[in-house]
Structure 1
Amino acid sequence: MGVTATTVTSPAPSASARHYLVVPLLAILWGFNWPAVRVILDEIPPWTLRTLGLSLAGAVLLLVALTRGQALAVPRRHWPRLLLAGTLSITAFNILLAFAQLSAPTSRAVIVTFTMPLWAVLFARPILGERLNRSQSIGLALGAAGLVALGWPLLVSGAWSVGLAYALLAGMAWALGTVMTKRAPVDASPLVFTGWQLMAGAVCAGFGMLLFEGAAMPRLPSPGVLAALAYHVLLSQALAYVLWFATVARLPAGTASLGTLMVPAVGVFGAVLILGERPTLTDWAGLALMLAAAASVLPLAQMRLLSPRTGESNGV
């Protein structure tokens, strides 16, 4: 489940209809990745899953960069910046989300995780010196209401799960990585920047796999899990990233970013359809409030928090 950091290029002057159609396609690829990852976690432990997914996605992006004639080298002085952003937005984000889905319903985890743009706005205040405007203040208020709608009934009933705390921390890690990328940008193309971040995340996940899970899968996964794994690593990771870069090069940043708001809705729908989860009324209220909150702040965050050639995607 990799909501992973990616870089975006400056929008080109024109875009065809197919570029706009890719936006909902990406929402579907990333949204259905949430239930797919939950299926995988029934048989493949989280560190192993992240090692497989991140390494393949990173290799694909670097290969695509090579085929486009882009140099894979990153200035030595920028590697600490790249690794810091990757640790927050790739490694911590993905690992925390894997454990979140092991400990909480997927539908709730995806809603809580999409507090990401709200945390980005908050972190931008002390780190980048950006002040909150009216739309951001409204967005933060809606986001707080969404968290209350989700969390208060669980606290009262004693059903609060540590998985939701993992999801919240994952959203915060993603947001902090976003802001730090703006504060200390990396001199590399978007594909190369993200490819190396993913590979660095895969190395970290690999160490975790060796330490906590061992080097090899104990047995061949079932056909259903293999299908979900193929979807995760080939479609929601590798293909989605390539589509993302091809699309944001043509579309305005705000348009592409608003498309990611469909991801939690698709994720919740996928959890209902595939996993048989039944979100409560407060879950739906929390989802509506979170979508409204993100819609209030995300385009502005995309344009102000991130440089014209740097942004982040939200696939898990």
Structure 2
Amino acid sequence: MSAAPIPSTPAHAAHAGRARALLLLLGVVWGLNWPAVKVALSGVSPWGLRSIGLGAAACTVFALGFARGRPMAVRAGRDRLHIAVAGVLNVAAFNILLTFAQLGAATSRVAIITYSMPLWAVLFARIALGERLDRVRAAGLLLGACGLAVLLAPLAEGGLPRGILFALAAALTWAAGTIYTKWARISVEPLAVAGWQLLIGALVALTGLLSFEGMPHWPHWSMVHREVLVAVAYHIVFGMALGYVLWFNIINRMPAGVASLGTLLVPVVGVTGAVLLLGERPGLSDLGGFALIFCAALCVLLPSGIPRRRRAR
């Protein structure tokens, strides 16, 4: 006999409802960050934008951790090394590559290609960790490969633009960092891991700024277009600081797998925002590739191992 379902209490239903509302808000906030970054890059350098944005996000996460009384220090040398490597891959390389990708390609295309991240993570997990592929995930990889082929084939005739290559590289570094973190099994408070990784990302971006551009010389605010100021403010306050606060509130309210599945709203909002706010017009190959990659990500993010019903004897 199957166990009777546990009745949902009003408090539990309200808790789950708030989590879903926060997840919807996060999808909108992070989705609109795509066109905001594109506009901001017309007046701020890539290195400068990432230095400010990642620095603000790191300060916000540390402040949140201290306010909640969480241990934010990392004492073990092993954990420090693993957090540093994951921070370079998951935060620094990912965000910096995405910034340069948006300079060399349409925001909608960059968003679509970037969200092939879960597919690469599944593939890397199979190679590096020996994780088995079930039929749904195998179908997801096939759909993802078809989606990338549909999207990239028209662009490959004259050679893939640098922006597309940067977007692919960003997706690969995120997947590599995710699998590395899973392999390392870091036993540290999650907020501390996120805070230190964001700080590492900010320091890498600042190092790039000083190495390639020298000491920053901020232009007078009167010389910067109003749209650029609004976009930079949105990126710092909403896209980075508020976004990460929302994310960790969501993680505390629902399983990480369900939360990750909910972030599929981000590329939908990002592509829509690029069309409405930036005037981009994705072609049929873009839309076809987006549909296939979206379905593929859905396949690999769906929870596996759902128990089958026992046959009645």
- TM-score surpassing 0.5? yes
Equivalent residue number for residue 67 of structure 1? 67
Offset of 1:254 from its aligned partner?
A: 3.0
Alpha-carbon distance in 2 for matches of 1:92, 1:226: 25
SS of 2:253 mapped into structure 1: coil
Equivalent residue number for residue 87 of structure 2? 86
Equivalent residue number for residue 235 of structure 2? 232
- 1:277 correspondence with 2:280: yes
1:117 corresponds to which letter in structure 2?
A: P
Equivalent residue number for residue 112 of structure 1? 113
Alpha-carbon distance in 1 for matches of 2:214, 2:25: 36
Alpha-carbon distance in 2 for matches of 1:109, 1:152: 15
Alpha-carbon distance in 2 for matches of 1:62, 1:131: 37
Q: Does the CA contact (< 8 Å) of 1:85 and 1:181 recur in 2?
A: yes
Alpha-carbon distance in 1 for matches of 2:255, 2:200: 29
- 1:56 correspondence with 2:56: yes
- Which residue of 287, 299, 303 maps to 2:302? 299
- Over 3 Å counting, the alpha-carbon distance change for 1:281 and 1:159 in structure 2 is farther
Alpha-carbon distance in 1 for matches of 2:53, 2:164: 23
Q: Does the CA contact (< 8 Å) of 1:117 and 1:298 recur in 2?
A: yes
- 1:289 correspondence with 2:302: no
Alpha-carbon distance in 2 for matches of 1:54, 1:297: 28
1:133 corresponds to which letter in structure 2?
A: D
Q: Does the CA contact (< 8 Å) of 1:253 and 1:299 recur in 2?
A: no
- Which residue of 259, 262, 283 maps to 2:262? 259
- 1:154 correspondence with 2:155: yes
Equivalent residue number for residue 144 of structure 1? 145
Alpha-carbon distance in 2 for matches of 1:137, 1:23: 27
Once the two structures are superposed, residues 239-279 of structure 1 have per-residue CA deviations (whole angstroms, 9 ceiling, x without a partner) of 11111111121113332112111111111101011111000
Offset of 1:194 from its aligned partner?
A: 0.3
Once the two structures are superposed, residues 88-129 of structure 1 have per-residue CA deviations (whole angstroms, 9 ceiling, x without a partner) of 000000010000000000000000011100000011012211
Once the two structures are superposed, residues 63-98 of structure 1 have per-residue CA deviations (whole angstroms, 9 ceiling, x without a partner) of 110011112211232111000000000000001000
Equivalent residue number for residue 214 of structure 2? 214
Offset of 1:218 from its aligned partner?
A: 4.1
* Higher Cα radius of gyration: 2
1:153 corresponds to which letter in structure 2?
A: P
SS of 1:43 mapped into structure 2: coil
Q: Does the CA contact (< 8 Å) of 2:107 and 2:274 recur in 1?
A: yes
Offset of 1:186 from its aligned partner?
A: 2.0
Q: Does the CA contact (< 8 Å) of 2:16 and 2:254 recur in 1?
A: no
Segments of 4+ in structure 1 off by > 3 A? none
Alpha-carbon distance in 2 for matches of 1:87, 1:166: 16
Alpha-carbon distance in 1 for matches of 2:256, 2:80: 26
Alpha-carbon distance in 1 for matches of 2:122, 2:80: 25
Alpha-carbon distance in 2 for matches of 1:268, 1:106: 7
Equivalent residue number for residue 182 of structure 2? 182
SS of 1:70 mapped into structure 2: coil
Equivalent residue number for residue 307 of structure 1? none
Q: Does the CA contact (< 8 Å) of 1:257 and 1:299 recur in 2?
A: no
SS of 2:44 mapped into structure 1: coil
Alpha-carbon distance in 2 for matches of 1:176, 1:268: 25
Q: Does the CA contact (< 8 Å) of 2:72 and 2:191 recur in 1?
A: no
Equivalent residue number for residue 8 of structure 1? none
Equivalent residue number for residue 247 of structure 1? 250
Equivalent residue number for residue 42 of structure 2? 42
Alpha-carbon distance in 1 for matches of 2:261, 2:16: 18
- Over 3 Å counting, the alpha-carbon distance change for 1:164 and 1:300 in structure 2 is farther
Alpha-carbon distance in 2 for matches of 1:49, 1:110: 18
Sequence identity (%): 48
Q: Does the CA contact (< 8 Å) of 2:52 and 2:236 recur in 1?
A: yes
1:82 corresponds to which letter in structure 2?
A: I
